[in-house]
Chains A and B, each alone.
Chain A
Amino acid sequence: MDDLAIDWAALKEQAESELEAASSLQGVEEARVRWLGRSGRIALALRDVGKLPAAERPAAGARGNEVRAEVEALVSERLSRLEAEALHARLAAETIDVTLPGERPQVGHAHPLHQVWRDLVRIFGELGFAVADGPEVETDWLNFGALNIPEGHPTRDAQDSFFVSDTQLLRTQTSPVQIRAMQALAPALPVRVVAPGRVYRRDTTDATHSAVFHQIEGLLVDRGIAMSHMKGVIAEFARRLYGPETKIRVRPSYFPFTEPSGEVDVTCVFCHGAGCRICKGTGWIEIMGCGMVHPVVLKNGGYDPEEVSGFAWGMGIDRVAQLRYGIDDLRHFLQNDLRFLEQF
């Protein structure tokens, strides 16, 4: 009966060597069918277990099942190893030159003036100032008279303004929005607004002059507002725009619609006060005019100057953009040369 005995060890050894020899997924699959299929070698051998004497059958069957499990494990291990090798080979074949330039989406650029505009509005928004608006064609009352600029005042010179009728002109400053904002809110307090916008002067266009430019005006009216608050807000603004080390200095100046009035200098953003070409060696750069709202202007806005006070300031957006980006010629702003726009 010895010839009926099943040599499981030899079978396993043979299966192992066949699987080892299979170098492709297909080869492994063929070997799997050959050994583990319904009429594979192991199935056939297990069928032979029935022919064994009854006493040997259990042990031989158990051994056979063990061998089958071992060959199954072998097959799956072999499969996963070959899959890993195949993946590795594919990835290696897909290697590209990673230093090639990226394929960039065509995305447009925001105009530098508007980038600065948005920045200024954001900073003043952080400081509690909401945006106020007014028309670009303005009455001469709101552009001049209400701002304490009487008839005959030099800044009212018709030479400097574009008129569209006897009483209407292209606003020469964003300051009329001060009056509009106060009139819209009075007698409510506080008035905390900024008014960015386009303004016009009858100037010949060259590198430093433009008939069309942009300003941002600010106004705070409340009870108990003092020059110290004006300095505080402007200093905070300057630090947020130019960096925490920035210092301001306010020099007395004159505007018809504020008194006392001042010009604000900031420590030069290029040399930090040491003196350079941009600040003409002074270490300071003039950035805005400011002042305490003139009593006449408060009255014209609908407030009693005995009850409330306030301060206002105004600055050129174009100038801030020029400083920030190092733009030496104002004409770039309205030319819309893509070589210019695409730098921002």
Chain B
Amino acid sequence: MRVPLAWLLEMVDWPGDVGSLAEALTGRGVAVEAVERPAAGTAGIVAAQIVDVAPHPFGGHLKLCRLEAGRAGRGLVVSGAPNVVSGLLVPWAPPGARLPGGREMAKRDIQGVPSEGMACSADEIGLPGDHADGLLALPADLGPGDDLVAALELDDPVLVLELTPNYAAHCQSILGVAREVAALTGGALRLPPEPSPPNADLDATYVASVRISAPDLCGRFIALQLAGVGTGPAPIRVQRRLAAAGVRPRGATVDATNYVMLEVGQPLHAYDLRDLRGGVIGARRAEEGEVIVTLDGQRRTLRGDDLVIADGERAVGVAGVMGGENTEVHDDTREVLLEAAYFAPMGIARTARRLGLATAASTRFARGVDPARVRWAAERCAELIARWSGGGVSAEAGDAVTESFPATPPVVRLRGAHARGLIGVKLTAAECGAYLTGLGFNVSADGADRLRVVVPSWRGDVAEEIDLVEEVARAYGYDRIPEALPGGAPGAPYRDPVADAGEAAGAIARAAGYSEAVTSPLHAVEEWRRLRLPAGHDLRRAVQIQNPMTEDQRVLRRMLVPGLLDALGYNARHRRVDAALYEVGRVFQPTAGGALPDEPRHFALAVAGTGAAYLAAKGVVEEVRERLGAGEARYERPAAGELPFLHPGRSAWVVGAGGERLGWVGEVHPETAAAYGVVGAAAAAEVDLGQVAAGRPEGARFAPWLRSPAVRRDLAMALPEAVPAGAVAEVMRAAGGELLRDVRRFDVYTGEGIGPGRRSLAYTLVYQADRTLTDSEVDVAHDGVRRALVERLGAQLRS
């Protein structure tokens, strides 16, 4: 909503400048987004009469005009305008005057003849109009010497409002904003004059009858018939105000509909009577698939719940949104059917949104227009058309009202205690009532500390007590409400062990050199190809986005690692090949039966370049698991195709003590790494934090260490390569029993002296008890370990 200041000040006074007005309105919730001053500084332009016209001595189309401007003096200007004629009253910018845009006039020669400033066309002084039309012919109510900057509001600022939906209902008009200003100042409103009702006795060429066949969508439909409409344009001041408000002037009839709409918020529409057929006009539901060409030349296909305006034969407009091209008024339109209506706001909102047509009319109807102004607006508009165009009489063609017309304003009770309690300020009911009265509510006492409030017709947004509380708070001023801290008990305790686990895992990852990434959970289906997931793979079972905007928003992620690999690729493309990233975040698993998807939180890491190896990634996972207090885990080689994005020989499931899969770790398959643009090797891991944290004990417990000496025994053996180190450790721990405190691998060796397909593993075994162990006790335990390795794994002991 754009509010030309001069128009607003015609209805209400404001004691300060435009800046203070903008601030005050914003403070009341009528947000002024900007104050535009497109013609600030314009000065010195006056009305002047052309008293003499002479040809330019060098011929051509230039003429010498002698101007007479009363107390503003006289002068001689050179003009090339086509409409220069003696007697014309035109704008004159004498030397020293400043035009909109800042150009300062001076005396200068035009083809050898000095010109004292210039006589101006409309566009040269910032008014709407075509330069080719020549000098602006000023209206007769102006006289030579009049200051045009003031008279034509040439330097008028415009308030640009950014209205929230609740204020959009009543502030989408100059009158609505003026009411807010009046409430601020306590000043009086100067309402536009009451129009006289149409009373012409028309020898009608078109006998309209009004018919509403969709009473739930159309509450009222008034049709006035105008005849003998004149040919004149709207006054230049009107055109200026329309232009400043963002509406292009297009002839007296259309200008009048727009002017009244901006004035009081009631959209109106004018039809060329010649094009209406069947003697009927009204509102009906569109037929499914019905097509209409709107005023903007677009073909619109309608649905059965859209409302159209139709004559006896066809749709002539999309109700409340835009008129039809088939009945548009033209320069030669002399007979007009003028429509003023009340439509159900939700219906208009739905149609406008579906058609993508947010017009001046639809944004008003969709918020609910003032039902008390529908008829007023129609009559005012008819009057203005007649006045501006220079002719025309009007008669009523019909006025139909249905049950969806809000004829009686709602009555709402306000309890003083309720307002005090919610606002936090000691206000009496009477004080609340005074604020509401200032806003146009009709207030009366309703028992002690209670008000009966009749909502004004233009406040369709107010229906409940809470709405009145808001009005009181707004009028009292949010800035005057004190700041206080609430007392009361503390909130319920909250524990989220998974979030805590995520924080702990992140700290470990950062300490290990990984930086934290945040990647988008919206993924492309293309990820599946990069990850080498075959059709039917479980990880392709993802939550689908039904209305993605781009291809990379098709599904919700099942894993974090693709996002991290993408980031590694991005960094590699920016010459950062060595990179280590981790992320803690949600993944999404579809569920059956229409329930919301599961959203387990994962911890994942990915590393490229130096250190991108299986054991390095596994080490971080181990550190995280151990710090989180999770129990023992096993690392199991995945079956073929289970984790196709990983190196088949350098990847493993992380398996919990109960056999549950906590996640996986591995080097990234070279094809996957290449698909993401990762340079060289990459390793990655991903675990389910919820599952890892589930093993977390209540907290760490201090365990005193043994004071007795530990005995270390080394052990080396040769084994088939297929025997995993994990199995060796398990056998040793099982056989060593309680005395075996620790098993540390210190060497792996393949090659000479071991034999093909075999490798050597060397361990240090630490024996310790709560007493000093004798050599023979350790020997017994250690021999047991050695025997078990031979018997159960076929180990060939080398020491």
Contact = CB atoms under 8 A, between A and B. Distances in A.
Interface stretch (B269-277, B287-295, B421-429): B421-429
A319 interface: no
A304 interface: no
Given A337-B574, A338-B515, A341-B516, A226 B421 contact: yes
Most chain A C-beta atoms within 10 Å of own C-beta, residue among B494, B511, B522: B494
A235 B473 CA distance: 18
A26 interface: no
Query: Which of under 10, 10 to 19, 20 to 34, or 35 or more describes the interface residues of B?
Result: 35 or more
Interface in A140-159: 152, 154, 157-158
Interface in B489-546: 489-494, 496, 499, 506, 509-522, 543-546
Contacts of B469: 259-260
Nearest to B349: A152
Contacts of A154: 165, 349, 353
Nearest to B502: A114
Contact of A133 (B350, B353, B496, B549): B496
A285 interface: no
Nearest to B345: A152
Contacts of B518: 111, 113-114, 333-334, 336
Contacts of A338: 515, 571, 576, 579
B480 to A, nearest CB: 10
Interface stretch (B451-459, B594-602, B654-662, B775-783): B594-602
Contacts, number: 227
Contacts of A107: 510-511, 513
A132 interface: yes
B422 A130 contact: no
A139 B485 CA distance: 34
B29 A253 contact: yes
A257 to B, nearest CB: 12
Interface stretch (A9-17, A59-67, A91-99, A244-252): A244-252
Contacts of A211: 520, 522, 549, 553
A6 interface: no
Interface in B463-496: 464, 466-467, 469-470, 473-474, 478-479, 481-486, 488-494, 496
Given A133-B496, A157-B353, A251-B27, A106 B513 contact: yes
Interface stretch (A35-43, A73-81, A188-196): A188-196
B28 A252 contact: yes
Most chain B C-beta atoms within 10 Å of own C-beta, residue among A106, A167, A336: A336
B404 interface: no
B484 A232 contact: yes
Contacts of B489: 189-190
A170 B423 CA distance: 34
A254 B165 contact: yes
A225 interface: yes
A135 B587 CA distance: 11
A260 B423 CA distance: 9
A242 interface: no
A341 to B, nearest CB: 5
B519 A165 contact: no
Nearest to B575: A339
A233 B437 CA distance: 32
Contacts of B570: 335-337
A320 interface: no
B549 A259 contact: no
B498 to A, nearest CB: 9
A212 B521 contact: yes
Contact of B491 (A128, A164, A212, A249): A128
Given A128-B491, A253-B31, A309-B421, 13 more contacts: A137-B597, A152-B346, A152-B349, A164-B597, A165-B546, A170-B556, A189-B488, A227-B481, A232-B483, A251-B478, A260-B422, A335-B570, A336-B519
10 contacts: A114-B518, A130-B492, A130-B493, A131-B496, A138-B596, A193-B491, A231-B481, A232-B486, A262-B478, A338-B571
Interface of A: 105-111, 113-114, 128-133, 135-139, 152, 154, 157-158, 162-165, 167-168, 170, 185, 188-193, 198, 200, 202, 204, 211-212, 220, 222-229, 231-233, 235-236, 249-254, 259-262, 292, 294-295, 309, 333-339, 341-342
Closest 4 interchain pairs by CB? A252-B29, A228-B424, A226-B424, A192-B491
